[in-house]
Structure 1
Amino acid sequence: MRMRLSIAAAGVLLLAGVGAAAAQDVIIAPEQETVIREYVEKQPLASVNIPGVELNIGSTLPDTVELHEVPDVEYRYVVVDDRTVIVDPGTRRIVKIIQ
């Protein structure tokens, strides 16, 4: 019985680690990051506060947070606590914090 619980626990930890690694494996091409930075400077947004959400790569933003498009870039952005946050629009997960 203990062996089964240990194996199950190890499996859960392994899957959790894979999920965390997948969230951090998103690589934004330097060209896209430059486009995003330039666009954000030209189209400034008011900073929002999202209580209860830590700004970390892999964190998920709630549906109540409006994500903004950058032309010709697959990701969206929002300014949270005066930091520009790049988000995968499909999962709403933070993929990069650039400011």
Structure 2
Amino acid sequence: MKMHLTTAAAALLLLAGAGAVAAQDVVIEPEQETVIKEYVHKQPLASVKVPGVELSVGSALPDTVELHEVPNVKYRYVVIDNQTVIVDPGTRKIVEVVQ
């Protein structure tokens, strides 16, 4: 009985972990990515500093950072430390650092 409970608990933890990882993965469709990159190139912004924020996928930006709209696209963008980042406006999390 103890063996079954341990196995079940391990399986539950594994599934919970997989769900958390999947929730963080945001895939921008290639068409949207092209639109975003072209728009960002045509509408350059001044770079801002955001102390204490790591520029990596999943990092959340504070409310003090102004996000800029890309027409007809769900995501917003901002330039931080001379790097353009694409942000989910609902969560304010970085979904891509544009290279």
Per the normalisation by structure 2, the TM-score is 0.79
Whose Rg is larger? Answer: 2
Deviations 1:18-54 (A, max 9, x none): 445422x100011111101110111100011100000
Structure 2, unaligned runs of 5 or more: 1-8
Amino acid at match of 2:69: E
Structure 1, unaligned runs of 5 or more: 1-6
Indicate the RMSD between aligned Cα atoms, in angstroms. Answer: 2.0
SS in 2 for 1:22: helix
Per the normalisation by structure 1, the TM-score is 0.79
Q: C-alpha separation between the residues in 1 aligned to 2:51 and 2:19? A: 27
Q: C-alpha separation between the residues in 1 aligned to 2:59 and 2:75? A: 15
- Number of residue pairs matched by the alignment: 89
Q: Which residue of 1 aligns with 2:89?
A: 89
Alpha carbons of structure 1 residues 71 and 52: separation in structure 2 relative to 1, 3 Å: same
SS in 2 for 1:55: coil
1:73-84 matches, within 5 Å, as: 73-84=73-84
Question: Identity rate of aligned residues, in percent?
Answer: 69
